[in-house]
Amino acid sequence: MTEISRVISSANIQEEGEKDRPLYFSLKRAFDVVLVTFSFFFLWPLFLLIAIAIKLDSPGPVLFRQERIRGKRCVKNGRVVWEHVPFTLYKFRTMRNGASSELHRAFIRAYIAGDEQRMAELQAEKNQQEQNRYKLTGDPRVTKVGRFLRKTSLDELPQIFNVLKGEMSLVGPRPPLPYEVALYQPWHRQRLNTMAGITGWWQVKGRSATTFDEMVAMDLDYIRRQSFWFDLYILAMTVPAVLRGKGAR
């Protein structure tokens, strides 16, 4: 059985909660499609410039494809449930082509376990700022252009195609890697009980200055409070958060 199959088979399929919100999710989907389609007419020159910079900086593809886990809203026997399913997430490539994931796997294990000593041992930059203490800094796999793309969050732009495909939303919890989900406690899995997003409550409030449990708590707070107007607020808050580059991964 593959790692993804093990994660999916062990995932808890939980009800959405006390109330169903079909109107909210329909409105959310329509807004996502309209805004992403409209934005692409202005963003395509930026996509082209980034693609050229990546190709000039290092050999390899422009796009990086990675399997992640997302929440999929389903109606079964008249009840709304959230299934945890794999999908392919798109990003601009920020690492050397074919770089190993072992360093990140080790850091994630320490991050989820709350092992700050181990996280510090894995850091290439030993004197990172307080707001970056829970992110992997100085990763030797990252290219020169990749560092800029990560600092400005431009590497996330291709995920608008995931939004168009209906796999993600503009706003929601970040979709985790399968080997992250394999380490989750049952209550952690509840952060998957909504649509994954490009930006979210954690990104604008905590980002890399929060522990893993604090991040999950913020995602669960978002799920409890999610509404069309709350999503608009988070989108508006995303712009200054990105411009500050605070805690960018």
- pLDDT tens digits for range 199-223: 999 988 876 678 999 999 999 999 9
- pLDDT tens digits for range 26-57: 999 999 999 999 999 899 999 999 999 999 99
**H, E, C per residue of 9-48:** HHCCCEECCCCCCHHHHHHHHHHHHHHHHHHHHHHHHHHH
- pLDDT tens digits for range 2-23: 544 444 444 443 444 435 688 8
pLDDT of residue 16: 41
C-alpha distances out from residue 21 to 80, 166, 223, 237, Å: 9, 17, 12, 24
State the chain's mean pLDDT as an integer: 86
Altogether, the residues listed in the chain come to a count of 249
Q: Looking at residues 158-178, what average pLDDT do you find?
A: 97
In terms of pTM, does the model score above 0.75? Answer: yes
Q: Looking at residues 224-243, what average pLDDT do you find?
A: 90
DSSP state of 209: G
Q: Is 125 helix (H, G, I), strand (E, B) or coil?
A: coil
Instruction: Parse the chain into domains and list their residue ranges.
Output: 3-244
pLDDT of residue 125: 63
pLDDT of residue 27: 94
User: How many whole angstroms separate alpha carbon 36 and alpha carbon 23?
Assistant: 20
Longest dimension (CA), the chain: 54
